[in-house]
Structure 1
Amino acid sequence: DEYRIKPVEEVKYMKNGGEDDQKIAARNQENLEKSASSNARLKSNKEIPGLVHQPRANMHISESQQEFFRMLDEKIEKVR
């Protein structure tokens, strides 16, 4: 049962008591657009096939990995 696939929990980045959800959503959308455009450039560049990463259809992140990244996010935000 502990190896069963669980949904990945979305981590919100907190800054000085928190940001409103619209700012977070806007930043996430910008990052998605940047990522999509850079992936499109990489895919169109046939000279460097090693840089194109194939997405994993069945990505699995355990609860301990989620907790680790959540803790890491909090530490990064405290430093800023």
Structure 2
Amino acid sequence: MCRKPIQDYFVCRDKNKILQLFNLCAPMKEQFCACINEVFVKNHERGDKKFNAQRNEYFEEQRNRRLSKMMAHVEDSMEKRKKLQD
């Protein structure tokens, strides 16, 4: 999608030192940066849709992991306390 604007910019920059010197390739650079940003946003939206479809399951799984970690820590500290009391 962004291949042509990127190629045009680098051809302008590398082949024409005068254009590069006077920064006349800047509009092409802005164009390819905008194109890359647009592609990034589209891909990010696609990822967001995928995440939002499984959002509840993800957070439920995360809660369960935290709870099991906390329970393991509590059990471990209770065992240590018993050992200290003995």
Look at both structures and tell me which one has the larger radius of gyration over its CA atoms. Answer: 2
- TM-score under structure 1 normalisation? 0.36
Q: Which has the higher helix share?
A: 2
- TM-score under structure 2 normalisation? 0.34
Greater RCO between the two (CA within 8 Å, min separation 6)? 1
